Amino acid sequence: MNGQTYVTAFTNRYGVGPEGPINDFISRRGDRLLLADQIDLNAMAARYGAPLEVVYCPQITVQIERMREWAEAARARSGYAGDFIYAYATKANFAEEVVRTAISSGAHYETSAAADVAIAHYLWQQGVLPSDRFIFCNGSKDHAYIAAIVTLRHAGFARVVPVIDDLDELETLLAMCREPLLLGVRERHTPADVDVNHPGGERFGLTPDEIARVVERLHHTPHRLVMYHAMVGSQIEDPERWNERLARSAEAYARLRQRAPSLWLFNFGGGMPTSAYSLDFRFDYAGFLDRLMTMLAAVCDTHHIPQPTLVGEFGRYTVASHNVFIMEVGRVKCGQGAAPDWVLLNGSLMVALPDSLIVPGQEFIILPLDGWDQPVRPVRLAGRLTCDSDDFFPRPGAPPLLLPEPYPGQKIAFFGVGAYQQMIAGRGGAHHCLTPEMRRIIIERDEDALVVREIAPQNVGQIMGLLGYARETLELPTPQHERMPAERRAPREPIRAPRPARRRNVLRNAPPVRYGAERRGWGVRVRG
């Protein structure tokens, strides 16, 4: 690399300096890498070791509040008369602290399975999910899914909205539910309109003829059709193409609204892209919403119907950036011939980052915690804890990763891991080659304090039990990482658990709290 240091190569590649913000949720200050300009990842790795998962829930609140502010600004600029509803697509990350944070930040709820509805029902009973929020139920619904929806409605939750995916679902719902239902319909794409990168989406939804039959079936019943669902794709980074596709859906909504006056919600679906996967990412969120509202208003005016409330379902956008994995280099093996070196990590990429294996072209932001002043090298990463030739990244055909000169003990941070990775891998389960789940540090905001929970990594006994073996006390010896010097550790204050029903507001006009930094009095409370 012509003798370049990593920081020089990084600056030349991305146009950002060695100090300050790297993107909207990663920064570097004083040779230390920060998450959300708050969490000192170098200090976290020094204190807790690696591999390590750092969960920073306030970042979820930031994502939700930003989108709602962009929507409000777009409404003001365009003069759009409808409201805006932000729904969290929980399938991106079902973790309790994640769902609770999204709800406390004002998000509505979108489900994809029977168990998902059961979680929503539980959160409503516990007072976490308010009765004035919507629960949008998407996907194909078997008997268990429909029964969970009906049970929730019979319990008194009126704003659950099953989105009909086939006509048999509708008949089963009407037969089982004795209370009036709010219903939605999802449009089914024609083959010409299917996202070529996500062809499986073509199976969802109803054709125009089937939607017309839903309208007829609901006549003279107490049930109301209230939502039209237009889902285009996932991680859509071309706003012009997205708006063009939604314009056809808006026309379909307008024609349906003339036949079904109860219709008042236009759901533009998921697909909102996130900056969590690439430092090259650029997307004008405010501009997209402005054009969407302007287009929808024009269509409604043409058809002489009211402008609907906009609904967006946000999965990756909500949670991808709130999580970081920190892995440690265990060995470095020289590449053969002109091939880059192999950097073997004390973990597994295919277990921790399953999208790296199953999603073509999937990217993650991968940065070293230190060594930015060292020579840069092209490398290939591989999992050391699996005996599997597919456990490597980047994938074939992609350029090698650039990192400082690798060495055993080097720490590497993986960003953009908060959506789908643990859900696909199966959090709490037994994993490929018995790779244990890493230590998890969960950080939440409770008024003026950051509340920290530490969850121990999986041990051999737990994994044996999951696989049906007798749970013995057998435990493999594990090396102890070098602990941070006492004077640099975060002080342990009296234990205080998060109060689940209280909203955790991000402090306004307060100095950033860099957890793990060399300072006292930062309001961090730790419970082990």
Please count the other Cβ atoms lying within 10 Å of the Cβ belonging to residue 108: 22
Q: What is the pLDDT of residue 495?
A: 33
* Residue 387 appears among annotated catalytic residues: yes
Q: Tell me the chain's radius of gyration from C-alpha atoms.
A: 25
Give kind and range of the element (H or E) at residue 301: helix 285-303
Taking the C-alpha atoms of residue 347 and residue 384, their distance in angstroms, rounded to an integer, is 6
Taking the C-alpha atoms of residue 213 and residue 232, their distance in angstroms, rounded to an integer, is 23
CATH number at residue 180: 3.20.20.10
The answer to the question of residue 315 being in a domain is yes
pLDDT in tens, the chain (528 residues): 678 999 999 999 999 888 999 999 999 999 999 999 999 999 999 999 999 999 999 999 999 999 999 999 999 999 999 999 999 999 999 999 999 999 999 999 999 999 999 999 999 999 999 999 999 999 999 999 999 999 999 999 999 999 999 999 999 999 999 999 999 999 987 766 666 666 666 678 899 999 999 999 999 999 999 999 998 876 787 878 888 889 999 999 999 999 999 999 999 988 899 999 999 999 999 999 999 999 999 999 999 999 999 999 999 999 999 999 999 999 999 999 999 999 999 999 999 988 888 888 889 999 999 999 999 999 999 999 998 989 899 988 888 999 999 999 999 999 999 998 999 988 999 999 999 999 999 999 988 889 999 999 999 999 999 999 987 656 666 666 555 543 334 333 333 444 554 433 333 333 344 545 433 233 343 333
**Percent helix, strand and coil across the chain, each rounded to 5?**
35, 20, 45
> Residue 361 burial (CB < 10 Å; 0-12/13-18/19+)?
exposed
Of 433, 486, 439, the residue nearest 458 (C-alpha): 439
Buried b (16+ CB within 10 A) or exposed e, 13-47: eeebebeeebbbbbbbbeebbbbbbbbbbbbbbbb
The answer to the question of residue 343 being in a domain is no
Residue 22: DSSP 8-state: S
Contacts by 388-397, CB closer than 8 A, 24 or more apart? 388/350, 388/432, 388/433, 390/350, 390/357, 391/348, 391/349, 391/350, 392/342, 392/349, 393/349, 393/353, 393/356, 393/364, 395/356, 395/357, 395/360, 395/361
Taking the C-alpha atoms of residue 430 and residue 436, their distance in angstroms, rounded to an integer, is 8
Contact (Cβ atoms closer than 8 angstroms) between residue 101 and residue 93: no
Buried b (16+ CB within 10 A) or exposed e, 117-156: bebbbebbeeebbeeebbbbbbbebeeebbebbbbbbeee
The answer to the question of residue 406 being in a domain is no
The answer to the question of residue 454 being in a domain is no
The answer to the question of residue 431 being in a domain is no
The answer to the question of residue 200 being in a domain is yes
Taking the C-alpha atoms of residue 474 and residue 477, their distance in angstroms, rounded to an integer, is 10
Contact (Cβ atoms closer than 8 angstroms) between residue 321 and residue 93: no
Token representation of residue 168: 């048999």
Domain hosting residue 239, numbered range: 70-319
The answer to the question of residue 325 being in a domain is no
What are the angstrom distances between the C-alpha of 19 and each of 34, 35, 516, 518?
A: 11, 14, 19, 18
Give kind and range of the element (H or E) at residue 26: strand 26-29
The answer to the question of residue 238 being in a domain is yes
Q: What is the pLDDT of residue 477?
A: 65
The residue type found at 214 is V
Per annotation, catalytic residue among 177, 300, 334, 387: 387
Of 60, 137, 107, the residue nearest 321 (C-alpha): 60
Q: Which neighbouring-strand residues pair with 26?
A: 35
Specify the residue for token string 């409808």: 82
Number of domains in the chain: 1
User: Residues 196, 239, 98, 266: is their CA dihedral positive or negative?
Assistant: negative
Q: Is 515 left (phi over 0), alpha (psi -120 to 50) or beta?
A: beta
